[in-house]
Chains A and B, each alone.
Chain A
């Protein structure tokens, strides 16, 4: 809420008991309502015209509808694109989580069976959420006993119950031994199960040997555990024989990585693990665990021989008709290990680049596409010259600079690409970009003229948004600019919650390019022109008209204001009375005061044009007629002429088409209009934040013409507006002064009665 609430002494003295009760009720109601409104967040979702790191439609993309393939996509999407661009079968990915993960840990079945066998929980085993992790020092810990361990114990208990009966001494002993094993899951010294009785059934002895090795394993005595598991592997009578080398390998992997050791130590123990795992994979009697052994072997190979492992999964991903999801995951993991978890990097900075790309076209392509610097350009051109393959054409078009000598021939080749090619949308977008960058803007516009401006086969709404961003960049006149400014909303994205259900199908918004241009790269006259013309969709046109009228009033440009006022009244009917009052004012002073009152009654009057939308801005009918208690986006804070008041972050369209976030003036804008824009922005900045500007003007009005019927209302709105708006924090005395005048000059007015407090 606002700052310390001050009550005026006289007002408080006049407060009756009924009013106190009313205030109390309001306070409680507001507090309750606010608690609901601010339940968590608020977290607006941005309504995005172009995504950054993943395709809009994962399902369609997985079926080969690539749209514009972009280097900043996460690498898994580049792998999918590669398959399609090289004529392979599309790779749809299933990214569902594994059925059981440690975060869904549930040992209740084991605990129930255990307690059933033992007649109740063992000492220390009462708590059903007993820790299963161990500390490693330096405040680090790890999940020691995994969900599989309890599952295996449960299955074994059931098997032994079937074999030995229930109750039976063997089952009870086995269960007690397993309790001892699990006591090693958390902190504490080694707990070893009791030895099997002499003359016990061989399976009991084998079980106990296995449990003892497991106890050492969970107590982090990995060398001892591995040795015992290898002994089990050599015992042909043990039912655990097939698992022996596998578990020895697991012990060695933990020895290497828990905690993370220096590389020589890691390599030494992982090499031992690798030998154990290869032995398992050669053991036909261990076929039942070949699957997990293979996965562990892949893990070890990824650590010991990442480049070789990269090539292995790359081969599967490029050649297999239906490669497993795990290989795609592993490929990305290997790339992260070798390149870093990043999507833009100097190609020359990759230590093992030569080895990575040798004989591996997929990796070669990914590194060339995402890499920066001359090495990437040279490699892409070299590969294109050698292969003439569409995917290398895409890589060249993304990397080649506009002044490169090879550009003309590359563009010629791109021009010959068939529209049916899955690379067509990408190359079309990039041809325009490169023609523009090389100064061939007329050719770029001509090419754009042949490309769809609405959704069409092969051109998704997002692709059309990208083409429209190019059209805006290359606009020859304001009409072309306006025609290309609206973009279709394609994704609803929350920084906190990720992608959200999109229920704005077909709706349009401004992207950052248009919003920035309207806000800081066009003069008032152009905003008026955009308001008057019917090119923009009504909602966006109204947004521009609001900014135009606000600027016109603040800059005292009466002609512009009179031109845009009827438009605004038509687009925003709730403002009609206030706009008409402005239009029909008898004197310039009356008109200026009518404008003030309109601002005060319409906090949604802002001087800039926002874009892209979010779900909050999209939901309201602009300009809002009440203060925004939640996001406080009303009026202006005084900094909007230099940067957006709020932003969802860099726009992908801007990042792809402009070399800087600081967009240039539209090319068609004459120098005189650029200078006019600059001087207008300076004048607007000098006016300062809305709340102090309006407070000053209204206080002056109250002193000059106190008999005006609307002064009390204006003063009350100044006081309330101070609370919910921003800027000039140190000028809070203006709010206090407005409050004093209100209660001093208009004590019996309804506005004074409504306004019981002022706020810093």
Chain B
């Protein structure tokens, strides 16, 4: 009986650790819709009409501000001009530094609907959510991701940005219905160093974070794309020179 009990517990733990969905994530075919290099187009006017078609643009489409159980939506306030590039519509979620926020079911559904609406914008092939959720906000975030995934077209990839710490040592991404988590290896201040290894070693990140990486043009970072999609942030409006720099990172 004792032996059986031990085996049972060990088996359960192993099953938990090894067979949970995220550890068996399939390579989603829908991710193939995203180019290997994505430029983040954030809160400034961007004219990317000359951008090579092999490069994608992940643009801030809207900002959701949550306060308590309420939320407001602010659209992108700057023009983005593109021609034939694949786009990812990014929804930034702000929760402020106050008490933990938690949307009710109806509000969460409305936010999910707003995010899903961005998928129908012209040339958008994927959606991304950017939310630095606190630990106490993760259950709400998880439910929101599920609601978005449920409503998105089946072939539309769902991406999320991730604090670097979420990708090393933290296991909360496991089981989320996402196609990729993008570890943001910039603006980390003194905390960058411990997680720098993610840049050079794809395998050092948790599985959800192994398909993409987020870097910034103004922070030197030695990294190997290693089959990962590279999202590049620029602190200034994109120029031909900046785009050239970004492309060199992916194909030195």
Which chain B residues border A140 with CB–CB below 8 Å?
Answer: 75-80
Q: Which of A44, A129, A648 is within 8 Å of B107, CB to CB?
A: A129
C-beta contact mask, A22-37 vs B, less than 8 Å → 1, else 0? 0010011001001110
* Bound Cα distance from A723 to B142, whole angstroms: 30
Residues facing B in A1-23 (CB within 8 A) are: 1-4, 17-18, 20-21
User: Does A495 lie at the interface of the complex (its beta carbon under 8 Å from any beta carbon of B)?
Assistant: yes
23 residue pairs A–B, Cβ–Cβ below 8 Å = A1-B169, A4-B203, A17-B7, A20-B9, A21-B9, A40-B134, A40-B163, A102-B74, A103-B65, A129-B73, A129-B107, A131-B114, A133-B74, A135-B75, A137-B79, A139-B76, A141-B75, A141-B76, A141-B77, A142-B75, A631-B194, A633-B194, A729-B201
* Bound Cα distance from A752 to B189, whole angstroms: 37
* Bound Cα distance from A286 to B3, whole angstroms: 89
* Bound Cα distance from A1 to B79, whole angstroms: 41
Known A106-B70, A133-B75, A648-B190; contact A139-B110, beta-carbon cutoff 8 A: no
Q: Which of B13, B71, B189, B203 is within 8 Å of A27, CB to CB?
A: B13
What's the minimum C-beta distance from B85 to chain A, rounded to whole angstroms? 12
* Bound Cα distance from A41 to B62, whole angstroms: 24
Residues facing A in B140-181 (CB within 8 A) are: 163, 165-166, 168-172
User: Does A104 lie at the interface of the complex (its beta carbon under 8 Å from any beta carbon of B)?
Assistant: yes
User: Does B29 lie at the interface of the complex (its beta carbon under 8 Å from any beta carbon of A)?
Assistant: no
Which chain A residues border B170 with CB–CB below 8 Å?
Answer: 34-35, 38
User: Does B191 lie at the interface of the complex (its beta carbon under 8 Å from any beta carbon of A)?
Assistant: yes
Closest 8 CB pairs of A and B: A141-B75, A17-B6, A39-B135, A24-B13, A138-B79, A632-B194, A646-B190, A38-B165
User: Does B53 lie at the interface of the complex (its beta carbon under 8 Å from any beta carbon of A)?
Assistant: no
What's the minimum C-beta distance from B118 to chain A, rounded to whole angstroms? 9
What's the minimum C-beta distance from B10 to chain A, rounded to whole angstroms? 4
* Bound Cα distance from A137 to B80, whole angstroms: 9
User: Does B59 lie at the interface of the complex (its beta carbon under 8 Å from any beta carbon of A)?
Assistant: yes
Q: Which of B71, B74, B80, B204 is within 8 Å of A129, CB to CB?
A: B71
* Bound Cα distance from A674 to B170, whole angstroms: 45
Write the residues of chain A forming the contact surface with B, with a CB cutoff of 8 angstroms.
1-4, 17-18, 20-21, 24, 27-28, 31, 34-36, 38-44, 46, 102-106, 127, 129, 131, 133, 135-143, 259-260, 495-497, 614, 629-633, 637, 645-649, 726, 729, 760
- Counted as pairs of residues, one from A and one from B, with CB atoms less than 8 Å apart, the total is 140
Residue of A with least CB distance to B2: A17
C-beta contact mask, B184-200 vs A, less than 8 Å → 1, else 0? 00010111111011001
User: Does B97 lie at the interface of the complex (its beta carbon under 8 Å from any beta carbon of A)?
Assistant: yes
* Bound Cα distance from A45 to B97, whole angstroms: 15
Is A38 within 8 A of B166, CB to CB? yes
Is A142 within 8 A of B9, CB to CB? no
Since A106-B70, A141-B62 are in contact, a sample of 13 more A-B pairs with Cβ atoms closer than 8 Å, ordered by chain A residue number, is: A4-B203, A17-B10, A41-B191, A42-B191, A46-B190, A102-B74, A135-B75, A138-B79, A139-B76, A259-B79, A632-B193, A648-B190, A649-B189
Is B171 within 8 A of A31, CB to CB? yes
Residue of A with least CB distance to B10: A20
Q: Which of B10, B107, B132, B136 is within 8 Å of A21, CB to CB?
A: B10
Q: Which of B17, B169, B201 is within 8 Å of A3, CB to CB?
A: B201
Which chain A residues border B234 with CB–CB below 8 Å?
Answer: none
What's the minimum C-beta distance from B66 to chain A, rounded to whole angstroms? 10
Residue of B with least CB distance to A28: B13
Which chain B residues border A632 with CB–CB below 8 Å?
Answer: 193-194
Is B74 within 8 A of A103, CB to CB? yes
Q: Which of B65, B73, B187 is within 8 Å of A133, CB to CB?
A: B73
User: Does B133 lie at the interface of the complex (its beta carbon under 8 Å from any beta carbon of A)?
Assistant: yes
Is A103 within 8 A of B76, CB to CB? no
Known A20-B6, A140-B78; contact A35-B135, beta-carbon cutoff 8 A: yes
Which chain B residues border A104 with CB–CB below 8 Å?
Answer: 67, 72
Known A41-B163, A129-B107, A729-B201; contact A102-B72, beta-carbon cutoff 8 A: yes
What's the minimum C-beta distance from B71 to chain A, rounded to whole angstroms? 7
Interface centre among B13, B74, B135, B194 (most CB of A within 10 A): B194
* Bound Cα distance from A530 to B4, whole angstroms: 63
* Bound Cα distance from A732 to B230, whole angstroms: 26
Residues facing A in B48-63 (CB within 8 A) are: 59, 61-62
Q: How many residues of B contact A (CB 8 A)?
A: 57
What's the minimum C-beta distance from A567 to chain B, rounded to whole angstroms? 28
What's the minimum C-beta distance from A737 to chain B, rounded to whole angstroms? 20
Residues facing A in B188-237 (CB within 8 A) are: 189-194, 196-197, 200-201, 203-204, 206
Residue of B with least CB distance to A144: B75
What's the minimum C-beta distance from A220 to chain B, rounded to whole angstroms? 14
Which chain A residues border B166 with CB–CB below 8 Å?
Answer: 38
Q: Which of B3, B72, B80, B189 is within 8 Å of A138, CB to CB?
A: B80
Interface centre among A39, A260, A646, A760 (most CB of B within 10 A): A39
* Bound Cα distance from A565 to B134, whole angstroms: 44
* Bound Cα distance from A141 to B117, whole angstroms: 14
C-beta contact mask, B122-146 vs A, less than 8 Å → 1, else 0? 0000000000111110000000000
* Bound Cα distance from A131 to B74, whole angstroms: 9
Residues facing A in B65-96 (CB within 8 A) are: 65, 67, 70-81
Q: Which of A3, A39, A42, A649 is within 8 Å of B204, CB to CB?
A: A3
* Bound Cα distance from A357 to B110, whole angstroms: 52
Which chain B residues border A43 with CB–CB below 8 Å?
Answer: 189, 191
Which chain B residues border A135 with CB–CB below 8 Å?
Answer: 75
Is B165 within 8 A of A139, CB to CB? no
Residue of B with least CB distance to A259: B79
Interface centre among B67, B170, B200 (most CB of A within 10 A): B170
Which chain A residues border B67 with CB–CB below 8 Å?
Answer: 103-104
What's the minimum C-beta distance from A313 to chain B, rounded to whole angstroms? 25
* Bound Cα distance from A36 to B70, whole angstroms: 26
* Bound Cα distance from A48 to B204, whole angstroms: 33
* Bound Cα distance from A233 to B6, whole angstroms: 85
User: Does B19 lie at the interface of the complex (its beta carbon under 8 Å from any beta carbon of A)?
Assistant: no
Is A131 within 8 A of B73, CB to CB? yes
Known A105-B72, A140-B76, A259-B79; contact A44-B191, beta-carbon cutoff 8 A: yes
Which chain A residues border B206 with CB–CB below 8 Å?
Answer: 1
Is B172 within 8 A of A35, CB to CB? yes
Is B191 within 8 A of A35, CB to CB? no
* Bound Cα distance from A447 to B76, whole angstroms: 56
Q: Which of B17, B75, B78, B190 is within 8 Å of A44, CB to CB?
A: B190
Which chain A residues border B71 with CB–CB below 8 Å?
Answer: 129
Which chain A residues border B65 with CB–CB below 8 Å?
Answer: 103
Which chain A residues border B7 with CB–CB below 8 Å?
Answer: 17
What's the minimum C-beta distance from A42 to chain B, rounded to whole angstroms? 6
* Bound Cα distance from A736 to B171, whole angstroms: 26
* Bound Cα distance from A260 to B166, whole angstroms: 39
Residue of A with least CB distance to B4: A17
Residue of A with least CB distance to B204: A3
Q: Which of A4, A18, A40, A629 is within 8 Å of B132, CB to CB?
A: A40
Is B80 within 8 A of A726, CB to CB? no
Is A24 within 8 A of B10, CB to CB? yes
Is A18 within 8 A of B165, CB to CB? no
Residue of B with least CB distance to A646: B190
Is A24 within 8 A of B9, CB to CB? yes
* Bound Cα distance from A36 to B14, whole angstroms: 22
What's the minimum C-beta distance from B43 to chain A, rounded to whole angstroms? 11
What's the minimum C-beta distance from A633 to chain B, rounded to whole angstroms? 7
Is B172 within 8 A of A139, CB to CB? no
Which chain A residues border B133 with CB–CB below 8 Å?
Answer: 40
Interface centre among B3, B10, B75 (most CB of A within 10 A): B75
User: Does B121 lie at the interface of the complex (its beta carbon under 8 Å from any beta carbon of A)?
Assistant: yes
* Bound Cα distance from A729 to B204, whole angstroms: 11
Residue of A with least CB distance to B136: A39
* Bound Cα distance from A390 to B116, whole angstroms: 60
Which chain A residues border B62 with CB–CB below 8 Å?
Answer: 141
